[in-house]
Chain A
Amino acid sequence: MNIIDWFLDRFRLKTVHRGIFDRDIPEGISYFYCFGGIAFSAFLFCFISGLFLSLHYIPSEKEAYQSILRIQEEVPLGKLIRGIHKWSANVLIVSIIFHSIRVFVTKSYRPPRELNWVVGVLVFLIIMLEGFTGYLLPWDQKAYWATVVGTNIAGSIPFVGETILLIIRGNYEVSGVTLSRFYSFHVLWFPSIIILLLWAHFHMIKKLGISKPL
């Protein structure tokens, strides 16, 4: 027994009742079914490039902009990794949109897969929030004003608006407090929620199988 077999066996990846690899795939899956996979790989690229970026980024009012400049100009491969992070985020959103169109057109959300659809919508929502929180992190003009406008929208809700604004910004103005909490959301809260939800998503796909094509 070689070491890979030993690992797969001890990890119980090879037992029949638990194997994620031993699923049947229904006949007639077209290439329109690939967008979910593309979205997941784009998420992974985002995740990994984000891990690298976080090694050099400093989420503070004074240092944030300087550290982004350093990533752009001094850090080896920094610009490339930043580009990958940005573009994989864009590809992620485009492919999620196509994935959900595909799921809608093939009516795959119908019972028993309603919950999986709901989980997918939640993932999409949180990815959008990731886009919003990530926009502030460079702490440049564009980031600052976009966040001012974006949070002012939440602040415009009657009666509870000001409280919500304070909860989002941590202050009356967009400031260093806002930056550090957006950073926390962007790199800790939202990714962990996304990973949990994606686990649920894949778990349900595994248990329910891919829906039969029309």
Chain B
Amino acid sequence: MKKKFYPDYLIEILFFAILTFELILILTFIFPPLIGREIDLLVAYQPRPEWYYLWLFWLLRYFSADTVFIGGVLVPLSIVSFLILVPWIDKKIGWKFTALIAFTFLLIFLIATIIEAIS
């Protein structure tokens, strides 16, 4: 018998939704949300972005003040436009090379996040 979306597949989705919710609850209880101190212009403060922006934060170390926009604007924009254009890039250069580029991005993302997270 062919699988139908309803109910065969929907029940699995629901199962995963509940699992996700439990995961979120567990995370909430282990790491409850914190609130920082009130805005204070007296102390130096090192802001750290959420983990999904850490790679950008890491990248900005290597761009001096007059080239910040390259690291902070052009690089993210080019990554986004690469992602948008993936179906056509795939058509042009084949899946393997596209995968190579994408994998490089992912690897840099992971490494930069880890470096920035432990430093």
- Determine whether A83 belongs to the interface, using a CB cutoff of 8 Å to chain B: yes
Once the chains are docked, how many angstroms separate the CA of A20 from the CA of B99? Answer: 33
Q: Is the CB of A138 within 8 A of B28?
A: no
Interface residue stretch chosen among A155-163, A180-188, A190-198: A155-163
Within 8 A of B (CB), among A91-123: 91, 93, 95, 100-101, 104, 107, 109-111, 113-114, 117-118, 121-122
Known: A37-B13, A145-B45. A68 touches B20 (CB 8 A): no
Known: A83-B33, A153-B60, A157-B73. A25 touches B3 (CB 8 A): yes
- Known contacts A140-B38, A156-B65; 17 additional CB pairs below 8 A are A24-B2, A25-B5, A41-B20, A41-B21, A72-B33, A79-B33, A85-B33, A91-B23, A91-B24, A104-B102, A111-B87, A131-B53, A135-B49, A140-B37, A145-B45, A150-B53, A153-B69
A-B contact pairs, 9 of them (CB 8 A): A21-B4, A100-B83, A110-B90, A135-B49, A139-B39, A140-B38, A141-B37, A142-B47, A146-B47
Known: A86-B33, A91-B23, A146-B49. A34 touches B12 (CB 8 A): yes
| Residue in A23, A41, A91 whose beta carbon sits within 8 Å of that of B5 in the complex | A23
| Residue in B13, B51, B99 whose beta carbon sits within 8 Å of that of A104 in the complex | B99
Q: In the assembled complex, which residues on chain A have CB atoms less than 8 Å from the CB atom of B29?
A: 83
Q: Is the CB of A22 within 8 A of B6?
A: yes
Once the chains are docked, how many angstroms separate the CA of A38 from the CA of B46? Answer: 34
Interface string of B12-23 (1 = CB under 8 A from A): 110011001101
Instruction: Classify chain B: how many residues form its interface, as a range.
Output: 35 or more
Q: In the assembled complex, which residues on chain B have CB atoms less than 8 Å from the CB atom of A80?
A: 28
Interface class of chain B by DSSP: helix
Q: Is the CB of A65 within 8 A of B52?
A: no
| Residue in B8, B38, B51, B95 whose beta carbon sits within 8 Å of that of A25 in the complex | B8
Once the chains are docked, how many angstroms separate the CA of A138 from the CA of B69? Answer: 27
Residues of A within 8 A of B (CB): 20-25, 27, 29, 34, 37-38, 41-42, 44-45, 65, 68-69, 72, 79-80, 82-88, 90-91, 93, 95, 100-101, 104, 107, 109-111, 113-114, 117-118, 121-122, 124-125, 128, 131-132, 135, 138-146, 148-150, 152-154, 156-158, 161
